[in-house]
Structure 1
Amino acid sequence: MNKSFITNLLAGACVVAGYFFDQSIVLSVGLFALSGAFTNLLAIHMLFEKVPFLYGSGVIALKFESFKVAIRDLILTEFFSEQKINNLLNKAQPNIDFTPIISNVDLNPAFDNLLEVIEQSQFGSMLGMFGGTAAIEPMREKFIEKMQLSLSEISQTDNFKALVNQTLSQGNSAQSLHVTVLKLVDERLDELTPKMVKEIIQTMI
């Protein structure tokens, strides 16, 4: 339910109660509240609607393009300037835990490639004397376990984290994010109409 309606309803109740029960203070409170509500509605109407012979009425509708430019400048200057976005990126360095990802990665192809390298090396013929790559196959599970452990340890080093942060920052530079925000703001403002702004203000009060 609209807050203004509830407020006006309570004010009206105060007027009625104050009048019938001869309570001047309650009556005055109700009248002041209703007069304030009426003044607000009148002011909003005059801002957005042209009233004949009333200078300055309908100023929002008449100057709406300038109004949108002012909103755009406010948003981009005070909230989403390139400098502010850059500061935010510098402060919000991501701390990604790669361990769950590494534990779910299939490292069997890595072991298969290792076998292929051994077969093609000078040790391949020597290995054939001991049953070929089948002799190394029992090492697969241990190899994968050790590889996952090593990758997890590497992912926790400061150098690796710094490299990840640097890569992410390059991919989401302040300039590119600023351009994206600028595009979103412009698209939204293009959809904005005086009627929508009027409804927003009416909802606020």
Structure 2
Amino acid sequence: MNKSLVSNFVAVVVVTVGYLMSGPYQEYVLNTGLFALSGGITNWLAIHMLFERVPGLYGSGVVQLRFEDFKEGIRNLIMEQFFNRGDLEAFFHGAGQSSERLGEQIQGTIDSLDLEKAFDSLMDVIMGSSFAGMLGMLGGRDALNPLKSPFVERMREYFSEQFTNDEFQSRVEGAMKNALDEESIRKTVSELIEQRLNQMTPKMVKDIVQEMIHKHLGWLVVWGCAFGGLIGLVVTIVNNWSV
């Protein structure tokens, strides 16, 4: 269930009821609905603007605009951790092993990647952009922390798909057989990894986290509607009380 859509729909229903009804409570219902709808739409738009460019709205589509910065962080993470000294030695001495054993070694290396750094890299890109101010109204960096665990899990799945398939393993195996030393392996395999990373696009990153955004950040829209509606009700009560 799309929490964002449902909460905004409820707010629209409240606005409609408030507009059509008559009597002393009409103003209370209408203002509650209007404030709820404005809060929900504002938060939904903020989430939407993380990945989509909205014409006329400065700072929208920050992941697309700053995607190369994010990809550079991913690249550095993999180059630093994917082939450290121990991994290189294991790969070098495994040059004559079967493809199945090679796949296990690659999968083991992927499982040991500290992908929380990849999430931090994405957060640095977002918080270092012009979008940070708007996100600050929703709780800033802390508002995105619920995405960390599912992001790490989904990115690990993505890297497994990219680096443990038969094609990639075959190319690594061929590179190891032709390599003279560990440095040659590092250079050759790094080039293969680089080719894979160059295939990563902003849309792919968006697709990876799209479901997580609806599941976890959808609550921001729900609470935006709830608090917006509460504020609208309180403001109306105070205004009428002071009259």
TM range (shorter): 0.3 to 0.5
The structure with more radius of gyration: 1
TM superposition score normalised by structure 1: 0.38
